[in-house]
């Protein structure tokens, strides 16, 4: 399909491990966002890309979190030394700078 694709849909890992979450946005969308969402909460902003550069990374909780978008399309969210508190659904969205974002189905991360 032509929507935002996120992989994996589910990831279970152990505390201290490294995790990568991938987002394949809608072709041509220059804006790409990462959010994370815990049960019963609204999506929490993590980082926002315009093209290849991070326009705003103020939402990344600490230096264990990092995201890249090297060619201005696919983005990878990287989490080092995972902690149980990192467990959440990680949402990716892309858009054409109109305020209308298209979200993927999310990657559910569980840290044991």
Partner 1 sequence: LAKTTQPISMDSYEGQEVNITCSHNNIATNDYITWYQQFPSQGPRFIIQGYKTKVTNEVASLFIPADRKSSTLSLPRVSLSDTAVYYCLVYNAGNMLTFGGGTRLMVKP
Q: Quick check: 1 binds partner 1 (CB under 8 A)?
A: no
Least distance in angstroms from the C-beta of 3 to partner 1: 10
Q: Which of 5, 7, 13, 50 binds partner 1 (CB under 8 A)?
A: 50
Q: Quick check: 56 binds partner 1 (CB under 8 A)?
A: yes
Q: CA–CA separation, 91 vs 112, rounded Å?
A: 20
Q: Quick check: 20 binds partner 1 (CB under 8 A)?
A: no
CB atoms within 10 A of CB 6: 24
- Spatial CA neighbour of 69 closest among 91, 100, 47: 47
Q: Which of 45, 64, 72, 74 binds partner 1 (CB under 8 A)?
A: 45
Q: Which residues pair with 32 in a beta bridge?
A: 49, 94
Reading across the β-sheet that carries 5-7, which strands appear in turn?
5-7, 19-24, 75-79, 65-68
Q: Which residues bind partner 1 (CB under 8 A)?
A: 4, 33, 35, 41-45, 48, 50, 55-56, 58-59, 91, 93, 97-106
């Amino acid at each position: 399909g032509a929507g935002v694709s996120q992989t994996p849909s589910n990831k279970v890992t152990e505390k201290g491990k490294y995790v990568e979450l991938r987002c394949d946005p809608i072709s041509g969308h220059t804006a790409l966002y990462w959010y994370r969402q815990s049960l019963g909460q609204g999506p929490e902003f993590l980082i926002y890309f315009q093209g290849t550069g991070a326009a705003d990374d103020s939402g990344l909780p600490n230096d264990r979190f990092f995201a890249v978008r090297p060619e201005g399309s696919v983005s990878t969210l990287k989490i080092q030394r995972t902690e149980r508190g990192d467990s959440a659904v990680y949402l990716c969205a892309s858009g054409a700078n109109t305020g209308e974002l298209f979200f993927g189905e999310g990657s559910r991360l569980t840290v044991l």
